[in-house]
């Protein structure tokens, strides 16, 4: 039987934009893995009347409703009460859960449990209780009139813990199908050119399906199949992934990989090599992204943010005559920066970025969006010129960092470093 789920996130702070609703993303991904379709995401404030309206709509179009938030001890935590009223189910005090909450306060907060936490031990009559080992708010699930209702806490760590420990095992018993996806990660083609290349194929696919998701200069192609088992779904997906990767060639930088920097890190480890960075307009973005990876010290030696031209000369050793002749934003300077970073750090390769992120052209009139990527390697130095056009400053910086990693990726896989497509 195919199931349709709706996720209702409760919390005024979500509507105000003070908190990003990562819970909906995490739940959707988890439900996809157990073959449950998520057709709707709803966000509602801490208001019982509006929550009741959302529940009434959800129960007419979904047979699984999952709520997050509103299970706390404060006056506006009314999710349980509203749901029980909507489904005509009384709340019942669970003494064992109350004891667990008291123990949690004694061991973790080192104080007596406040009286208002008693309501957290009140749960719908006849429900399946979801314990919360990392917080005080238990969750639960019950079925009413063919609709399964699951209540999970709002704090993401608590929600994710309960989702994995309790909610997914509960839901897995409801579904006889699994949904499997593989992400084909590409760099160098925008979403429109990618869609144009694959339009004919994508328009005729239903199961498996193929969809595009765009990021700056990247497109993720998600191939998805639904089947009665993991093995059957994988068998359906294998030829699709193979055909798409063969068709797109070196635009593909990996399947089911996180990002460009993780691919670069893996390739460096395979060679037992290290890299360094020299950055100007990106202000350390490349270094930040590589060092965010676990074990980065094995592949990254260090870097220089040479924002001032004089730092390019004094620290990286770019010749003063070169800087005066060609300027800070030039292919010659990008090459010199990469060579200097490699020399100073002793890394096997070094990548550099220099450009104009805006909002104005530089002192020599170089336009906003012009960026040079340099890469110094044992056999020579390469340079890629990019023209990102007049975009937001942060967008240009992100694009430049992506191109720096793509240059490293291409070099380490034997591809032309200086090639790129708008």
Q: What is the mean pLDDT of residues 394-416?
A: 96
The answer to whether residue 420 scores a pLDDT higher than 60 is no
The rounded percent of the chain whose pLDDT value lies above 90 is 82
Domains present along the chain, CATH in parentheses: 4-172 (3.40.980.10), 179-255 (3.30.70.2860), 260-412 (3.90.950.20)
* Whole-number Å distance between alpha carbons of 126 and 128: 7
Instruction: Give the pLDDT confidence score for residue 75 in this predicted structure.
Output: 78
| pLDDT digit string, tens, across residues 79-104 | 999 999 999 999 999 999 999 999 99
Say if CB 173 and CB 214 are below 8 A apart: no
Contacts of 140 (CB under 8 A, 6+ apart): 123, 124, 127, 128, 129, 130, 150, 151
Say if CB 303 and CB 286 are below 8 A apart: yes
* Whole-number Å distance between alpha carbons of 73 and 113: 11
| pLDDT digit string, tens, across residues 120-153 | 999 999 999 999 999 999 999 999 999 999 999 9
Say if CB 236 and CB 227 are below 8 A apart: yes
The answer to whether residue 188 scores a pLDDT higher than 70 is yes
| pLDDT digit string, tens, across residues 326-377 | 999 999 999 999 999 999 999 999 999 999 999 999 999 999 999 999 999 9
The rounded percent of the chain whose pLDDT value lies above 70 is 99
Say if CB 80 and CB 123 are below 8 A apart: yes
Q: Which of 354, 346, 275, 349 is nearest to 311 (CA)?
A: 354
CB neighbours (10 Å) of residue 4? Answer: 13
Instruction: Give the pLDDT confidence score for residue 252 in this predicted structure.
Output: 95
Instruction: Give the pLDDT confidence score for residue 1 in this predicted structure.
Output: 62
Helices 393-412, 260-271: crossing angle, 10 deg rounding: 30
* Whole-number Å distance between alpha carbons of 64 and 152: 13
Q: How confident is the model at residue 422 (pLDDT cuts 50, 70, 90)?
A: very low
């Amino acid at each position: 039987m195919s199931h349709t789920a709706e996720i209702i996130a409760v919390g005024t702070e979500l509507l105000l934009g003070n908190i990003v609703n990562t819970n909906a993303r995490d739940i959707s991904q988890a439900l996809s893995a157990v073959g449950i379709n998520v057709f709707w995401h709803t966000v509602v404030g801490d208001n019982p009347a509006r929550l009741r309206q959302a529940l009434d709509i959800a129960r007419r179009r979904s047979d699984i409703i999952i709520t997050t938030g509103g299970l706390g001890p404060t006056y506006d935590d009314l999710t349980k009460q509203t749901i029980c009223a909507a489904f005509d189910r009384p709340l019942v005090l669970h003494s064992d859960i109350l004891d667990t909450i008291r123990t949690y306060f004694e061991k973790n907060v080192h104080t007596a449990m406040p009286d208002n936490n008693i309501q957290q031990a009140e749960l719908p009559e006849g429900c399946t209780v979801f314990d919360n080992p990392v917080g005080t708010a238990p969750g639960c699930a019950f079925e009413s009139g063919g609709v399964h209702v699951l209540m999970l806490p709002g704090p993401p760590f608590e929600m994710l813990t309960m989702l994995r420990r309790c909610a997914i095992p509960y839901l897995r018993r409801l579904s006889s199908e699994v949904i499997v996806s593989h992400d084909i990660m590409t760099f160098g083609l925008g979403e429109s050119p990618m869609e144009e290349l694959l339009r004919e194929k994508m328009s005729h696919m239903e199961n498996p399906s193929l969809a595009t998701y765009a990021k700056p200069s990247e497109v993720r192609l998600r191939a998805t199949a639904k089947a009665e088992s993991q093995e059957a779904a994988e068998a359906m997906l294998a030829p699709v992934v193979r055909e798409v990767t063969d068709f797109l060639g070196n635009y593909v930088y990996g399947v089911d990989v996180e990002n460009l920097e993780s691919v670069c890190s893996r390739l460096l480890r395979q060679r037992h090599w290290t890299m360094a960075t020299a950055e100007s307009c990106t202000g350390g973005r490349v270094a930040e992204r590589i060092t965010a990876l676990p074990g980065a010290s094995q592949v990254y030696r260090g870097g220089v943010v040479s924002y001032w031209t004089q730092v390019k000369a004094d620290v990286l050793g770019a010749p003063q005559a070169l800087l005066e002749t060609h300027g800070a934003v030039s292919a010659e300077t990008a090459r010199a920066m990469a060579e200097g970073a490699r020399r100073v750090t002793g890394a096997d390769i070094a990548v550099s970025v220099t450009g104009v992120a805006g909002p104005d052209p530089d002192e020599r009139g170089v336009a906003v969006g012009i960026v040079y990527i340099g890469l110094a390697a044992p056999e020579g130095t390469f340079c890629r010129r990019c023209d990102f056009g007049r975009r937001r400053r942060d967008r240009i910086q992100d694009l430049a960092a992506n191109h720096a990693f793509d240059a490293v990726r291409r070099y380490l896989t034997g591809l032309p470093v200086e090639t790129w497509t708008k």
